[in-house]
Amino acid sequence: MKRSLLFLLLGLLPFLAHAQKPKAKQIRKLLESQEVLQEHFVGFILEDGNGKIIYEQFSDKHFIPASNTKLLTLYASLKTLGDSIPAFDYSIQGDSLLIWGAGDPSFLHPKLDNGRVFQFLKNTPYTIHLVEQEEPMFEPSYWRADLAIFPIYGNTVTVQSDGKGGVKTTPEVVGQFVSKDASLSLKAFDIVRNVTGDGLHYPDLEVPVDFSEQIPFPSNLLVSQLLLADTLKRSIQLIKAFKATSYQTFYSIPSDTLYKHMMQPSDNFLAEQQLLLIASRLGDNLQVKNAIDHSIEHYFGDFKFKPQWYDGSGLSRINLFTPSTVLEVLKLLEDEMGQERIREILSAGGVSGTLKNAYKTDDSGNPFIWAKTGTLRYAHLQSGWLESQKGNKYRYVFMNNNFVRPTPAIREAMVEVMTKIWERY
């Protein structure tokens, strides 16, 4: 009898190990074991796959979310845009093709474009007219290209040495916005932009022979008209017109292609353009605020703590989310997408995106973390999903604000905590 009971218990051990879940004090000790995490504000939540919160701290306090903001942008896009990205709305009137831009960033983007829009516009028998629309309001930033109603080339130009003491641009037509400025005082050669206006300038210094940079160029519909005419080698008119009551929408790339290229490298330009895309489906006024206000009202209005949300990328330091708010967004994403799709779009630890070099994979080369990171000065975050060695699945939110140590030290501590959860639980 005793031997039978022993064999029964031995047989149950793998299942008991599989079912083992961490306790709150064990997770708290893991966090406390990282000295660097005791020096600043740390918001943390670990929740199991059944929705039980295992441990939380400062979960109802507001943090600067940095690029964790893109989780909200992603969900709002999923709910609004459908399975394909709208390139533009259009109406054929007589011999004219009237186009209302939708903010699609994929046209001639080096990593996104599939050629559909180019072929449609290149081969249309109609005269192409871009219709004037209210330009999006935004603050220029060194950390992303300018927002645009009709972006082209990702609103980025490659500037290189021409080997003759000057510079050349790709696309070439953008060269007319680049000029030498003898009054510009820089210690080394570089390209800088006007605070306002269209100009890109470089100092009266020797151009390094190997100089090559990708630089955002100021954009508006006039610039889009110029670039489009140069690209298509045909006349493009910019006109004023009321939007037709009956119009069609031309679609460019699969939506998940855009989402993946936004989330994995944490592309700020693509994130902001997604909010313009959302705004374009709500009306004719492509403004980030319109998309955010609509999303808060319709998608996040029931949250315990309504997100203080001001941009699509997380560059703004006036964004404020609680860890519990971010957890609610993770659950919405999981319900909307399912784990398989999430794992294709988010960064995977040791494999892709901003987590490629942060984590190791398991012995078979598989990731165990899928998450969105976020980094600003004095802010570093991760939020996503973990699948442990024992097969247990967790959601987690890990927010660090107001630290003064170098960001890599914070990242290493976070990785250490999450890796131990993977190994033990």
387: domain CATH number is 3.40.710.10
pLDDT of residue 198: 64
pLDDT of residue 19: 54
413 in the same domain as 307 = yes
- Report DSSP letters for 364-414, one per residue: TS---EEEEEEEETTEEEEEEEEE-TTS-EEEEEEEEES--S-HHHHHHHH
347 occurs within a structural domain: yes
Distance, in Å, from the CA atom of 291 to the CA atom of 313, rounded to the nearest integer, reads 13
Expressed as residue numbers, the domain containing 344 is 19-77+276-424
190 in the same domain as 61 = no
Among candidate residues 181, 196, 218, the one where a domain is terminated? 218
The Cβ of residue 259 has, within 10 Å, a number of other Cβ atoms equal to: 25
Among candidate residues 194, 218, 242, the one where a domain is terminated? 218
413 in the same domain as 316 = yes
Among candidate residues 181, 203, 218, the one where a domain is terminated? 218
pLDDT of residue 2: 53
| Domain tally, the chain | 2
Which of 220-224, 243-247, 253-257 bottoms out in mean pLDDT, i.e. has the lowest?
243-247
By the 8 A CB rule, do 265 and 354 touch? yes
Write the pLDDT tens digit of every residue in 326-355. Answer: 999 999 999 999 999 999 999 999 999 999
pLDDT of residue 273: 98
400 in the same domain as 300 = yes
281 in the same domain as 182 = no
The Cβ of residue 23 has, within 10 Å, a number of other Cβ atoms equal to: 12
359 occurs within a structural domain: yes
Write the pLDDT tens digit of every residue in 59-115. Answer: 999 999 999 999 999 999 999 999 999 999 999 999 999 999 999 999 999 999 999
Strand partners, 204: none
360 in the same domain as 290 = yes
What strand order describes the sheet that includes 178-180? 178-180, 200-202, 192-193
In 171-235, DSSP assigns E strands to 178-180, 192-193, 200-202, 212-216
137 occurs within a structural domain: no
pLDDT of residue 195: 59
Q: Tokens 């353009």 sit at which residue?
A: 273
Which of 149-153, 194-198, 296-300, 343-347 bottoms out in mean pLDDT, i.e. has the lowest?
194-198
Write the pLDDT tens digit of every residue in 136-161. Answer: 998 878 788 899 999 999 999 999 99
| pLDDT bracket for residue 21 (50, 70, 90) | confident
374 in the same domain as 296 = yes
Does residue 218 carry a pLDDT above 90?
Answer: no
pLDDT of residue 17: 46
